[in-house]
Structure 1
Amino acid sequence: MDHTNPAALPDDGVAGDDDLLTFAEEEPPGEDTAGTHRWKVLAIDDDPDFQRSMAFSLRSFSSREGGIELLQAYNTSEAAAILARERDIAVLLLDVVMESDDAGLRLVRAIRETMGNAEVRIVLVTGAPGVAPMKSVMADFDINDYWTKSELSVERLHTLLVANIRAYQYLTSVSRARRGLQMIVESSNALIATHSLGEFSSRILREIAKLIGVPPEGMICVEQRGEYETTPQVQIISAAGRFSPAIDHYLEELGSPPIEAAIRRCLAEQQHLSLPDCRVLFFPGTQDSANYAAYLSTPQVLDATEEELLRVFTVNIRSGLHNVALVSRLDEMAFQDPLLGIANRNALVRGLEDLYGLRCKNGEPCLGSCYTPGYVLFMLDIDEFSTVNLTLGFEQGNRQLREVSRRLRAGLSPTLLVARLHDDIFAILGPGSEVTEARINELLGLTGGDGPPQFVSIGSARLDLAQFRGTPTDAIVVASLLLKTAKRRGLSQHEDYRPGLESATAERYRLAMALRDALGRGEIHIALQPQVELASGRLTGAEALARWTLPSGETVPPGIFIPLAEATGLIVTLGEQVLRQACRAVVQLVGAGLTNLRVAVNVSTLQFAREGLLQDFLRILREEGVTPRQIEIEITESLAMQDIGTVQQRLQAFRDQGFEIAIDDFGTGFSSLSYLRRLPIDRLKIDQAFVAEIGTVDDENAIAEMVIRIAQRMGMTVIAEGVETPTQAAWLQARGCQDGQGYHFARPLALEDLLQWQATRNPG
C-alpha cells in the first residue's frame, strides 16, 4: 500500500547539521508565510521508522517556493503505482536497498527510461553506502543527489529539498515552454492552411485553450468602426462552449455586461487583460484592417511561462489573422456585387456547382439531370434600364437596382441565392416552388389589377434544372439566351426552358466557328442594293449588304449570322471586310463611269464603341484609293440614343472627314427629337415596316409621312427602304422623300450584276 502525509509547516528549529533525524517535541504550527503552491515529494523506503521520522521532520518545511505534499511508498511496486498516478512529483527520496540490493537503482532506470520522466529530481538516501557506492552510482545513473541516512539532518533535508524543488521548477518551466513552442509551431502550420476567417478564429480559440490547458470556452470578436460612429460595433465571429449560440451576433446582444466591458476595455486599451475569471487577448489590426479580441473564460492563474507562451502565440498568429482577413475580403470581392452587396456571377456559379452531382463533376455520364431535384435558375432584366440611365442619370439607375435587390431579398427566403450578374440582370437560384414568374412579378409590383402600382417592367427567363443536362456555366449561358429571346419579343416578356435548347445552342456554336473560319478565309462577300432618286429614277448609290454562302452552296441568312457576329465579337472583323469590299466596289463603279455615287455601310454598336474606329476607316479608304465622300455611314437609331455626348463627338469626327451619316430603321426605336437635333445627321432612313403600311392606313396616321416631316424640319434628306410597288414609290415622292431602295427597283446584286442592271435600265 502507499501512504500520504501532507506537510507544510514552518521551521521548528531542531537539530543542527550534524544531528541525526530524531524525534523532537511537537510544537504548534506557526503562521505560514511561504508560497501557496504545494510541491509533491515521494519518499520510498521500506523502513517504517525512517518514514515516520521523515514525515515528522518535513512538517516544518517552508520555503519561498511553497509547501510540500509528502507521498510515501514502502517498496518499488507502491512507488511505481504512485508515479503512474501522480504525474507532477517534484522530488524522490529513494532508498537503494529494499526488496533487493538494487531495487532502488532499477526503479531509477524505469523512471528515466521507461516512463521518460526527466524532470523529477532523484535523491538517493541509503543506509548501506557500501552496497551502492556514490562514485559508481552517480556515474551510471541519472541521479541528482546522494546522501547516507547518517548524514541527513533536518536542516540538510530541508536544504536539499529546496534546491531540488527549484531545479525541478526550472526544468518543468523549460519543458513546458518547449512543448508550448512546439504547439505554437504545430498550430501555426495548421492555421496556415485555413482561409476562412470564421474557421481561423475558431482554431485560435482551441489552440489558446490547449496552450494553457483549459477547456475552449470563449469567443473571438472583431471591432467594426464606422466612419461616423463614436462607439465601435463589436461582432462575435467565432465562439465555443456556452458562447457558441452568439456567433455572428453583436457583443451587446450577449446579455453579459461584465464580459462586454472586459472585451471593450481590451480593444480600447489595445492590450491583454488578466481578470479573475477570464483572459482577454488583443490582436492588433493593420492600418486598413480591424482589431480583434479573444475572450477565454478561465479562473486559472497563469504562471510566467504560460504568460510568455501566450505573448509569443499572439505575436506569431497576428500576421496569419491579417492574411486570413485579407483572404476573406478578397473572397468577398470575388463573390459579392460591390454596388448591392449581394452575390455576383461567381457566387451563382458556385451555388450551381453545389447543386451539381458529384458523378457529373467527375466526368461520369448522367442519366438525366445532374442537379439536385426541384431547383430552378430564374433570370430577369429590367426593361428600358438604359433609358433610365440616359434620361434620369446613373444615380437614379443605381437606386432602381437597389430597390429591385431589396424587394427580392425581402420577399424571398434567405436560403435562396439572389445575384446580380451585370448591369441590370439579376438571377435567383432556389426551389421551383418558391421561384416562379408570378411570385417575382408580385415582388416587383407587376401583378396589375388590385396589386400594388407597377415598379418596373422586366423581361425574365426560368430554367428548370431538373430538365437540364449541362454544366453550371452552361446553365447560365442557356438562361441568358432565354432571357434575350424574351427581350426580343418586347416589354414584360417571359421565356421558359424547353428541353432540346442545348442542341440549338450547339448548332449556334458550330455556326459561330464556321463564321470565324469564313472570315479568316475571306469567304464573306457583299451584295449591293441600288438606291434610286424617286423623282428621276437616277442611280444615286447602293447599300453594301454582307452575304455568306457555305462551301456546300447553302446560304446563311443575314438575320442569323449578323446577330451571331455581334454576339461573338466577330462583327468588328466582318465590318472591316465589308468596308474594304465596298471601297473596291466604289473603285469599279467609278471605272465604269458611274461617278458621284456613294456606297452605304452599316456600323454596329460594338464597332462604334471601339477607340480608333475612324482611323481604321480612313486607313482602309487610303489603301483602297477611296475618299470619305464616297462612303456613307449607317448607324441604328438605338446606337444614336445610347450616350449622346460620345455619339455626337464621334459622328462629328466622321463628318468632319467628309463621311455622310444616316440613321437606319428610323422610327423603330425610342428617339428623343431633342437628341436627334444635336447629332450631325445627313439622312434618315425610313424602315421597311413603315413603308409596307402605306395604303393600309390613313395618310395622317402613316409613320413614313411623320419621318419625312421630321427630316424636312431638321434639314435632312430621306431614303425609304423596302419599296416594293410603284404606288409606294409615288406616295413617298409626293410627300418629299428623295430616294428609295427595294425590290421595286432591284434586289441586292453582285457588283457585275449591278453594272449590267444599270446598263440595261438606263445606259445614260
Structure 2
Amino acid sequence: MSDIPLVIIEDNDCEQPKLPLDSWKVVIIDDEQSVHDVTKLALSDIVIQDKRLEFYSAYSAKEGFDLLGQHRDCAVILLDVVMESSEAGLELAERIRHELHMEMVQIILRTGQPGYAPEEDIIKRYEINDYKTKNELTRNKLYTALATAIRSFGHLSAISESKKGLRNVIDASANLMKEHSVHDFASGVLQQINALLKISTPGIFCVSQRPLLEADNNGHLVKESYLVVATSKKFSEIYGVKIDEISQLEAREIAQLALSTKKHVFNDSMTALFLSTPSNWTGVVVLEGQVSLSRIDEELLQVFCLNVALGLENAKFFTRLNKAAYYDGVTSLFNNTGFIESAKKVIQQANERVTLFVIDIDYFHDIVESLGFEFGNKVLKAMTSNLKRTFSAHSVISRLHSDVFAVLLADTDMTVKDVVKECSKPFIVEGSSIRLGVSIGEAHHESAEANFNVETVLRHAKIALRVAKESKRGAGQEFEPHFEDEARSRLGILADLRNGLDQEELFLVLQPKVSMGTGEVVGYEALVRWEHPQKGIIPPNAFIPVAEQSGMYFDIDMYVFRKSLEILEKHPNITKPISVNISANSLHHSEFIEELKAVMNTHPFDINKIELEITENALVRSDMAIQHLNELKALGFVLCLDDFGAGYSSLSYLLKLPLDVIKIDRSFVNYISDDSNAMFVLKGMLQICYDLNKTVVVEGVETLEQVDLLTQQGVDIAQGFYYFKPMSIDEILVNAC
C-alpha cells in the first residue's frame, strides 16, 4: 500500500566496515558443543549492517530460556529441535513467543536429520522464521540465513519503534472521529481562533476530505468527498455529514466556495478558512462572524491554518494506517489481527457461549489458476456479501488469509450444517452463477468459563477444519478434544520417527508376487515396518500418513531403497527382484536422482534385482515427476505403475511413460465376484495392457474365487493374502526363495 511508510535498511555487507560500536546478539541453543564451536568459528569475523555478531550459548532448552530472559534484545536464535526431549526445541519456541513475548526475534530451527520439515501448522503455531538441517549450513548458507534473519529483525525493530511513537497519534485520530471528543477538539480550535483573531464566536465546524476510501454495496469506491469532522456545540447536528448535505445553506455555500477557489472567504456573517498541505490534502474551517485581518494577522492565520491542516491530514493518514493494520484490503473485513482484537466484545455479549466457524472455500486455488486473481478477488467479495447477509450485525466476520474466513457469534442456534448450506448458495460473478463448496471447522467457548482466549478457540476451529478437509471435504466438523491430542500425537510420532530412522528401528518385510500360471514366486514388494524400543510395533497407518504430510517420506524412501540393497547384498540366495515403492514426495524432490545414485554407488547391486513402483498420484503433480521417471528408466530400472485405476488414471500414461509393469489396484479385485461391471472394466484394462506388451500384476487377491476369475482372464502375476502375507527376511529364506 503506497500510504504505508516502509523503513528501508541499507545492507552494506559488501563494504569495508568500520569497527562496529554495537553488535547483533545471536543465541545458540544446542546440546552439541561442536555445533557451538563450528558456528562461532565460521562467523567470528562477520559484519552485517556495520555490526559484528555477539554469540551467547546454551546447551539445553531450560538454559536457553533462562539465557533469553537476560538477553531479550537478541536478534536471532539458532535453535536445535531435539535436546532434553524430542520436542524440547518446539516447546522452547512456544515459550519464547508466549512467555517471554519476544515477537521480533528470528528463530531458525536446526536439526541433524536431513529432509525433515515440520508440518505447516507447527511452523505457524510456533512462529518459526526459518528451518535448516545442520548438514546444509555451510559457512555461506549460514551467513545467508543469518543475514536474512537480521535484516528482518532490523525491519521489525524499526517498525516497532515507529509504532510506539505513532500510537498516540493513531489513538488521537481514532478519538477525533468519536462524538464524545468532537466538542473538545472544536473548543480547542475555537479558543485558538478567538485568541488569534481577537473575536468570539459560538459557531465553528471543520470539513475534511473523507478519512478513508470506502466502497458502496456494489463494491465500487465512493468518490472522494468532504465530511464534517469536528464542530462546536451549535453545529453538532451536522457532525459526520457530507459537505453537500449541510442543512445551513450559507454555511454550506461558503465552505464549498473556499474549497473550489482554494482561498479564504470572508463575508459579513461568516468566514471560511481554507486549509491545505504540501501533499495536496485540503479542508476548510467555517466560523460565524465577520473577520477583519491586518497583514500580520493574515500571516499568523496562514501559519495556524497550516498547522490545523497538517493535524487533520495526520488524522486521515493514521486512520488509514489503522485500517490497514486491522482490515483486509480486498474484502474490507477484519484481517486476522482485527479479528483477534474485535472478538472480545462478542464474549461480553454472550449469555451462554460463543461459536466460531472457520470457512475454507474448496478448490479456490483452482479458480485462481484457471480464471486469474482478479476473478478470484470477485469471488472473495461475493463470499463476503454472502456472509454479511447470513450473519447478524453483532457477529465478527474476518478474512483470515487467502480463501479462509472466520465468523464469531454469541449464543447462535446455527449449526455447521446450516453454515455450509448458506455458504453454498449460488451467487452471480461477472454475469455467471457460481456455487462454491466449502469446508468448515467449528469451535465453542462457554461464556461461564473464565479466561476467554480467542486464539485458543481459533486454533481449535482450524484443527476441526483440517479434519473436515481430510475426511469430509465440502462439509463441516465440530472440534473434539481428541483432535488436539491426535495433533500432539502426530508431532510425537514425527519426532520419534526421525530418531527411529537415525537408530535404524525401521525394518523391511517382503510380500511375494506369484505367477498365477505356475504358482512360483517371481518377485517381492518391500514394505516398511517400525519397532519402537518402548512402544513396540507401530502399524504403518499410524506413521506413514504423518511422514507423508511432513515431507519426511523422502527419507523413508531412501531408507527402504538402501535396506533393500543391503538385503540383496547379504542374502544372494534371494534371486527374485525386490520392488521398492517411490512416493510422490520423492519423485518431486529436486535431489531425488542424485540421492538415489549416491546410495547405488555405496551398495553395488544387479540392476535387474530392483524394481521401482510409482503411485499414480505421483505423476499428476508436475513435469519433474515425468523427468525423473525417464531418468530412472535410463539408469536401467524396471518401472511399475502402482495402484492403477485408483486415482487420476490416464491411459496416456501407458503411451507416454517408460512403464514396464502395470499393477492394478485391489479395489477392482474386491468387486469382481459380485459385480459384473467391475469384471467388464477389469477385462478392458487387462486387454489394453496386454496389447501394449505390459506385464500385469493384480494386487489384493484374497479368495479362491478371485484366483479362478483372474486365471480365466489370463492374469500374469498376483499378489495378496491368498498366496502370502508380508514375511520377515527369515521367513522368506525358508518359505519363498
TM-score range, shorter chain: 0.5 to 0.7
Q: In the alignment, is the contact (CA less than 8 A) between 2:352 and 2:411 conserved in 1?
A: no
Matched-pair contact (CA < 8 Å) for 2:616–2:644: yes
For 2:404, the equivalent position in structure 1 comes to 425
Aligned pair 1:193/2:168, yes or no? yes
Whichever residue aligns with residue 293 of structure 1, its letter is G
Q: Which residue of structure 2 lines up, in the alignment, with residue 603 of structure 1? A: 583
Query: CA, structure 1 residues 278+316, in 2 after alignment: closer, same or farther (shift >3 Å)?
Result: closer
Q: How many angstroms does 1:282 deviate by?
A: 1.6
Q: Which residue of 1 aligns with 2:227?
A: 236
> What TM-score does the superposition give when structure 1 sets the normalisation length?
0.58
The partner residue of 1:221 within 197, 201, 209 is 209
Alignment correspondent of 2:416: 437
Alignment partner of 1:547 is 2:529: yes
Shift of 1:261: 6.4
Find 1:760's aligned residue among 720, 726, 734: 734
Aligned 1:643-662 pairs, distance under 5 A: 648=626
Q: CA deviation at 1:687?
A: 3.2
Deviation readout 1:47-101 (Å, 9 max, x if unpaired):
xxxxxxxxxxxxxxxxxxxxxxxxxxxxxxxxxxxxxxxxxxxxxxxxxxxxxxx
Aligned residue in 2 for 1:282: 276
Cα 1:699/1:474, change in 2 over 3 Å: same
The whole-number CA distance in structure 1 between the counterparts of 2:399 and 2:566 is 51
Q: How does 1:612-631 map to 2 (within 5 A)?
A: 612-625=591-604
Instruction: Find 1:689's aligned residue among 653, 667, 682.
Output: 667
Q: Residue 686 and residue 470 in structure 1: after superposition, are their counterparts in 2 closer, same or farther (change >3 A)?
A: farther
How far the C-alpha of 1:374 sits from its partner, in A, is: 3.0
Q: The residue matched to 1:747 in structure 2 has which SS? A: coil
Counterpart check, 1:291 vs 2:281: yes
Task: Judge conservation of contact 1:381–1:425 (CA < 8 Å) in 2.
Answer: yes
The structure-2 alpha-carbon separation of the partners of 1:316 and 1:635, relative to structure 1 and needing over 3 Å to count, comes to: farther
> Runs of 5+ in structure 1 lacking a partner?
1-188, 358-369, 448-452
Task: Identify if the C-alpha distance between structure 1 residues 532 and 346 changes in structure 2 by more than 3 Å, giving closer, same or farther.
Answer: farther
Instruction: State the distance in 1 between where 2:251 and 2:731 align.
Output: 95
Q: Is the 8 A contact 2:353 2:445 kept in 1?
A: yes
The higher-RCO structure (CA 8 Å, 6+ apart) is 2
Question: Which AA in structure 1 matches 2:388?
Answer: R
SS of structure 2 residue aligned to 1:433: coil
Which whole-Å deviations, capped at 9, do the CAs of 1:668-703 have from their partners, x for residues lacking one? 445566688666666554333333223122255565
Counterpart-to-counterpart distance in 1, 2:651 and 2:375:
23
8 Å Cα contact 2:259-2:282 kept in structure 1: yes
What is the CA-CA distance between 1:377 and the residue it aligns to? Answer: 0.7
Q: CA deviation at 1:482?
A: 1.9
Please give the per-residue CA displacement for 1:129-181, whole angstroms capped at 9, x wherever unaligned: xxxxxxxxxxxxxxxxxxxxxxxxxxxxxxxxxxxxxxxxxxxxxxxxxxxxx
The one-character-per-residue Cα deviations of 1:386-444 (angstroms, maximum 9, x if unpaired) are 66567777776655444333322233224323333445433222234264335424433
Question: Over residues 444-480 of structure 1, what are the superposed CA-to-partner deviations in whole Å (9 max), with x where a residue is unaligned?
Answer: 3569xxxxx9923333332222288884333233222
Question: Which amino acid is 2:437 matched to?
Answer: S
2:440 corresponds, among 416, 435, 460, to 460
The one-letter code sitting in structure 1 at the alignment partner of 2:277 is F
In structure 2, the residue matched to 1:166 is: none
Picking from 572, 582, 585, the partner of 2:564 is 585
Task: Check if 1:560 corresponds to 2:542.
Answer: yes
Q: Deviations over 1:214-235 (max 9, x none)?
A: 7773243238899xx9995225
- Relative distance call for 1:646 and 1:507 in structure 2 (3 A) is closer
Sort the Cα spacing of 1:231 and 1:722 in 2 relative to 1 into closer, same or farther, 3 A: closer
Deviation at 1:637, TM superposition (A): 4.2
Structure 1 residues 734 and 481, CA gap change in structure 2 (3 angstroms): farther
| Cα distance between partner residues in 2 of 1:197 and 1:677 | 70
CA distance, structure 2, for counterparts of residue 717 and residue 306 of structure 1: 100
Render the CA deviation track for 1:566-600: whole Å, top value 9, x for unaligned: 44x2x32x421441342232243155334673532
Give the distance between the partners of 1:324 and 1:623, measured in 2 at CA.
69
**Residue of structure 1 equivalent to 2:467:** 485
The residue aligned with 2:385 is: 406
CA, structure 1 residues 555+491, in 2 after alignment: closer, same or farther (shift >3 Å)? Answer: same
Contact 1:224–1:235 (Cα < 8 Å) also in 2: no
Identify unmatched segments of 5+ residues in structure 2. Answer: 1-163, 195-200, 215-219, 427-432
Q: Distance in 2 between matches of 1:255 and 1:649?
A: 74
DSSP 3-state at the match of 1:381: strand
Structure 1 Cα separation of the partners of residues 310 and 609 of structure 2: 68
Cα distance in 2 for partners of 1:336, 1:676 equals 51
Query: How far off its partner does 1:376 sit?
Result: 0.6
Q: Paired residue for 2:511, among 526, 529, 535? A: 529
Alignment of 1:26-37 (within 5 A): none
Give the corresponding residue for 2:479.
497
- The one-letter amino acid of 1:744's match is Y
Residue number in structure 2 paired with 1:741: 719
Q: Are residues 405 and 630 of structure 1, via their aligned partners in 2, closer, same or farther at CA, if it must alter by over 3 Å?
A: farther
Report the Cα distance in structure 2 between the residues aligned to 1:648 and 1:197, rounded to whole angstroms: 61
Residue type matched to 1:195 in 2? I
Q: Give TM-score, length-normalised by structure 2.
A: 0.59
Q: Which residue of 2 aligns with 1:17?
A: none
Alpha-carbon contact 1:223-1:232 (below 8 Å) kept: no
On the 8 A contact 1:699/1:705 being kept in 2, the answer is: no
1:548 alignment partner, SS class: strand
Matched, 1:723 2:697: no
Distance apart, 1:559 and its partner CA? 1.9
SS at match of 2:673: coil
Q: Which segment is superposed worse, 711-720 or 376-385?
A: 711-720
Alignment of 1:507-518 (within 5 A): 507-518=489-500
TM-superposed CA distance for 1:603, in Å, is 2.0
Return closer, same or farther for 1:719/1:191 CA change in 2, 3 Å cut-off: same
Displacement after TM superposition at 1:641 (Å): 3.8
CA 493–442 in structure 1, closer or farther in 2 if over 3 Å, else same: closer
Structure 2 CA distance for aligned equivalents of residues 476 and 454 of structure 1: 29
Structure label with greater radius of gyration: 1
Contact conserved, 2:698 with 2:715, CA < 8 A, in 1? yes
Q: Secondary structure at the match of 1:728?
A: helix
Aligned residues: 544
Alpha-carbon distance, 1:248 to partner: 7.0
Give the conservation status (yes or no) of the 8 Å contact 1:444–1:454: no
Distance 2:654 2:382 in 1: 32
Aligned to 1:724, the other structure's residue is in SS state coil
Using the alignment, how far apart are the partners of 1:661 and 1:395 within structure 2? 43
Residue equivalent to 2:360? 381
Cα distance in structure 2, aligned partners of 1:398 and 1:380:
16
SS in 2 for 1:236: strand
